[in-house]
Structures are given as C-alpha cells and as structure tokens.
C-alpha cells in the first residue's frame, strides 16, 4: 500500500509512474488526497474541542469553590455540548478513514524506475539466457509422455476433483518429491530458514500481502470459516512478520517454504493450459526475504542468482525476462520471470517470478524495523520468489530428456529420486 505521505508530496510522480502499469490513478489519487485533507481537518477540529472541554472541566471545580455557580453551570452545559460535537466528529472521522482505506488498497505499487513500458508479455525484456536447447526428433509433449510411462494421470484427477488437479503416480510422484527436497535443500544451503506454513489464511493475511482485494476472484474461499486456500506460500510466510517491529541485527531475514498452492485460474483455456501448463493445485518451494530498503535490490539480485543456479543444475535451457509495466503484478515494484524451454511444445514456460515489493506489502503488514533502541521505526522491504514451481519444471524435464530408452533424470536429482531413468 502506498503511503499517504508519498501521495501528498509526490502526487504527479505517482500518477505518471502508475501509467507504466497502464493504470490511470488520477481520479483515485485526487480523491485520496481530498479525503486525507478532510481527515486532518476533522482531527484538528476534534482535538481543539477536546482541549477546550478539558480546560472547562478543570475550571468547573474552581468555579464551584469560588461559588460562581452560574459560570459553573454554563461551563457544564458547554462541556456537554462539546461531548456531543466530539462524538459527531469521531463518527465522521471513522467514516472518512474507512473510505480512505478502501481507496488506498485499490492503488497498485509503483514500478521501479527501470521497469519498461508495455502492455503485455510481448513487451517484456530478455535480460540473459543460459543452457542449451535439446535437438529432438518427433518429441512427445509431456501429457503424452505421462500417459506412455504411466506417471501422471490427468483423467483420474478429473474424476476425483476436476480439471487442473492431476494425480502423480509411481516415478512421477517420486520425481515430485525429489524436486521438492532438492529445492528445499538448496534453499537451506543458501541460508534460508525452512518453515511449514498453513495452507489456509484469514482475510488479514490476504490483505497484508496484497492478494485481497485485487485477486479475490482467483482464490478458493472457504465460506463457512471465511478462510482462503493459499495461492502461494508467500502469503503465510510474509505474514509471519505482520505487526512486527524488527531489530536491525535480525537481518538478513530469509525464509523458505514448500506448500501446495491453489488458484482458480478463472477463464483459462486452450492449448497453453494443457497438461501441467496451468493447474488449479500445484506444488512450489517459495523463498521470502525481509530487507532494509537500502539493501533490497542487492537482495533481489541474490535471489535471481539462486533461481538461476537451480535451473542450471537441472540442465534446463532458461532465460530471464524483466517484466514490463503491463505484465507486472499489482504489488510488485520490479519482477524478473524465469522461463525454461519446452522442446516438444517449442515454447518458453514460466517457472518462477522473483519480485521486490519495496515497502508496499510492509505498509499493509505494518512491518517495520529499527536499527537500535534510539531509532525511529521505519518500513522494511519484502521480496519473494519461486524456487521453484514444479508443474512446468516437470513438463520441461520430461520433454527435454526423452530418449529412445526412456526419460533421463538430471544427475543432480538422481540421489533424490533413487533412479536415473523413467522407462
């Protein structure tokens, strides 16, 4: 959430930078500033009346002592009137603050100065590439390989739940487990503390990281209990630090978590969502960091290098793209996507997003830090990244490593899988 101070002092810059995200904030920012000014004026009026009432209340005793009864009664009457006025102003102030909060959560985060303009994925900028694309003849897509080797059953998932909920079997299930363990071990080696979060969160957690109200329609809602199935472990892990004031000596704060993730993906259809390309339930290892503002972009680069190391070790051809304004999330200030090449589908598949949210989430979370006991608390920066999401990684591994003898397992995964080929 953007701060009122930022909007008041940098109105024109905020509006212009949000245009990079193709968001016209003019009317919204004007209304927010109008309400903030009204809030301040109302608060000042209430404070002044409260001060007058306090002064009169103190004077009544002295007036009674001096037997100035008429003046004392007048002061009592004025005090009663002031109470009513203050009560009315408090009601007005509550209404203003409620509307102000409702409007503030509708403003996206400001994009970083380096974010390119653009409307969609076609305007993203390739930063760098690595790995070697395999040269395959008559390559089968992963959904056919899954059926051929009986490792993923999409039809059974439809029977049990519906489309987008596959069932992993035999070596397919072991490959999933191997990838999760590999990603978690790599994160631990990089200094991330593993946590195992709940798979459901409350409204406060959804608002804290910005999924609510922006992505409400994309989340599975448990209506009876008013809980939400998590779309990513980012939500519960980052919310660990909601309403927390950290000490400077606690940095770096690095967490990782494995979780199932749930996304409705309303409106998704067509060839690009076939097989594992887009699911309603999938597994992912997430990395989360809380950083000082001055350090957060160095931290972002560190996280990008961590993900790059994972795809390198999996022997997958990859590329990193910087998202343009029109393809960025509501909450992000700067996002790098990782894509791996799918040999059979002959296209790039997104497998990770690594983002810096600057103070946007922290302001919602009331996540602050102070360097020492004499320092004033200030907003921290939050970052996260997929390290990694499994479905498209599995798709690329199956497709790129298919041979006449079976599907070869990358060397780094063999100790985790217990086999080197799927036959």
Among 52-56, 121-125, 164-168, 259-263, the range scoring the smallest mean pLDDT is: 52-56
Query: What are residue 341's DSSP bridge partners?
Result: 348
Q: Do the Cβ atoms of 185 and 292 come closer than 8 Å?
A: no
Is 352 annotated as ligand-binding?
A: yes
The answer to whether residues 381 and 368 touch, using CB atoms and an 8 Å cutoff, is no
Residue 379 has pLDDT above 90, yes or no: yes
Q: Which segments of 213-270 are extended strands (E)?
A: 221-222, 227-229, 245-247, 253-262
Query: What does the pLDDT read at residue 271?
Result: 56
Instruction: Kindly report the number of other CB atoms within 10 A of residue 327's CB atom.
Output: 21
Most confident of 210-214, 263-267, 312-316: 312-316
Q: Where are the domains of the chain?
A: 4-104, 121-422
On whether the CB atoms of residues 18 and 25 are closer than 8 A, the answer is yes
| Phi/psi at 189 (5° precision) | -65, -25
CB 172 within 8 A of CB 151: yes
The CATH fold assigned to 4-104 is Helix Hairpins (1.10.287)
375-402 average pLDDT score: 98
Q: Is 264 annotated as a binding residue?
A: yes
The reported pLDDT for the residue numbered 273 is 80
Give tens-digit pLDDT for 20-70. Answer: 999 999 999 999 999 999 999 999 999 999 999 999 988 988 888 888 888
Nearest of 134, 139, 156, 149 to residue 421 by alpha carbon: 149
Mark 165-191 as b/e (b = at least 16 C-beta within 10 Å). Answer: bbbbeebbebbbebbbbbbbebbeebe
pLDDT in tens, 174-201: 999 999 999 999 999 999 999 999 999 9
**pLDDT at residue 65, as a whole number:** 81
Residues in the chain: 423
Average pLDDT of span 384-404 = 98
* Whether residue 141 has pLDDT greater than 90: yes
At residue 21, the pLDDT reads 97
* Angle subtended by helix axes 390-400 and 171-189, to nearest 10: 120
Mean pLDDT for the stretch of residues 107-127: 97
Give the rounded distance of the alpha carbon of 183 from its chain centre.
Answer: 20
Pairing relation of β-strands 281-291 and 227-229?
Answer: unpaired
Helix (H) or strand (E) holding 157: helix 154-160
Split at pLDDT 50, 70, 90, the class of 267 is low
If residue 103 lies in a helix (H) or strand (E), which one and from where to where?
A: helix 69-104
Question: Using alpha carbons only, what angle is made at residue 127 by residues 123 and 129, rounded to the nearest 5 degrees?
Answer: 115
221 has pLDDT over 60: yes
User: So what CATH class is 121-422?
Assistant: alpha beta
pLDDT the model gives residue 268: 53
296 is in an annotated binding site: no
The Cα diameter of the chain in Å comes to: 108
For 150-176, the pLDDT digits (tens) are 999 999 999 999 999 999 999 999 999
For residue 385, the model assigns a pLDDT of 98
Predicted local distance difference test score (pLDDT) of residue 230: 98
Surface-to-core class of residue 106, CB atoms within 10 Å of its CB (0-12 exposed, 13-18 middle, 19+ buried): middle
DSSP state at residue 402: B
Tokens 């970083």, residue located: 112
List the single range of 4-18, 269-283, 312-326 with lowest mean pLDDT: 269-283
Read off the pLDDT of each residue in 341-362 and give the average, rounded to a whole number.
97
Please provide the average confidence, as pLDDT, over all residues in the chain.
95
Does 351 show up as a binding residue in the annotation? yes
| 10 half-sphere exposure, CB direction, 13 A CA radius | 11
Q: What percent of the chain has pLDDT over 90?
A: 91
Under the banding of pLDDT at 50, 70 and 90, the label for residue 358 is: very high
Report how far residue 144's alpha carbon sits from residue 19's, in angstroms, rounded to the nearest whole number: 44
Q: What is the pLDDT of residue 363?
A: 97
Q: Both tokens of residue 154?
A: 């999409």
pLDDT-based confidence at 270, cuts 50/70/90? low
263 is in an annotated binding site: yes
Mean pLDDT of 278-282: 96
Is the pLDDT score of 261 beyond 70?
yes
Average pLDDT over residues 227-248: 97
What are 115's two structure tokens?
Answer: 């974010």
Query: CA 393 to CA 126: how far, in whole Å?
Result: 20
Rounded CA-CA distance 296/290 in Å is 8
Please give the model's pTM, rounded to 2 decimal places.
Answer: 0.93
Which range (177-186, 211-220, 408-417) has the least confidence? Answer: 211-220
Cα–Cα nearest to 340, from 318, 312, 322, 321: 318
* Structure confidence at residue 360 as a pLDDT band (50, 70, 90): very high
């Amino acid at each position: 959430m953007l701060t009122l101070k930022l909007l008041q002092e940098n109105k024109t810059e905020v509006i212009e930078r949000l245009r990079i995200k193709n968001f016209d904030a003019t009317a919204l920012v004007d209304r927010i500033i109008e309400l903030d000014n009204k809030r301040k004026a109302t608060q000042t009026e209430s404070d002044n009346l409260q001060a007058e009432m306090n002064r009169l209340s103190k004077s009544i005793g002295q007036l009674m002592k001096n037997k100035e009864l008429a003046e004392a009664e007048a002061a009592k009457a004025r005090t009663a009137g002031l109470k009513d006025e203050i009560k009315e102003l408090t009601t007005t102030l509550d209404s203003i603050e409620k509307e102000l909060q409702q409007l503030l959560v509708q403003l996206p985060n400001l994009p970083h100065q380096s974010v390119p303009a653009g409307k969609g994925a076609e305007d993203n900028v390739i930063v760098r590439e690595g790995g070697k694309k395999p040269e395959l003849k008559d390559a089968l897509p992963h959904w056919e390989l899954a059926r051929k080797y009986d490792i993923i059953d999409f039809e059974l998932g439809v029977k049990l739940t519906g489309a987008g909920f596959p069932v992993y079997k035999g070596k397919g299930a072991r490959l999933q487990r191997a990838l999760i363990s590999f990603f978690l071990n790599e994160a631990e080696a990089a200094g991330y503390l593993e946590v195992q979060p709940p798979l459901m969160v409350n409204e406060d957690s959804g608002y804290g990281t910005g999924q609510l109200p922006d992505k409400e329609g994309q989340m599975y809602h448990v209506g009876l209990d008013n809980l939400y199935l998590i779309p990513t472990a980012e939500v519960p892990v980052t919310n660990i630090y909601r309403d927390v004031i950290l000490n400077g000596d606690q940095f770096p704060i690095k967490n990782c978590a494995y979780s199932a993730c749930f996304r409705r993906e309303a409106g998704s259809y067509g060839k690009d969502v076939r097989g594992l390309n887009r699911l309603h339930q999938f597994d992912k290892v997430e990395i989360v960091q809380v950083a000082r503002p001055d350090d957060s972009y160095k931290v972002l680069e560190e996280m990008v290098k961590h993900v790059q190391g994972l795809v390198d070790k999996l022997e997958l051809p990859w590329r990193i793209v910087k998202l343009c304004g029109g393809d960025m999330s509501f909450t992000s200030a700067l996002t790098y996507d990782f894509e791996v090449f799918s040999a059979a589908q002959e296209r790039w598949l997104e497998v990770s997003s690594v983002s810096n949210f600057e103070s946007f989430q922290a302001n919602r979370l009331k996540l602050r830090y102070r360097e020492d006991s004499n320092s004033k608390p200030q907003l921290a920066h939050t970052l996260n990244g997929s390290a990694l999401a499994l479905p498209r990684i599995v798709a690329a591994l199956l497709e790129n490593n298919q041979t006449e003898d079976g599907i070869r397992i990358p060397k780094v995964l063999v100790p985790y899988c217990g086999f080197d080929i799927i036959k």
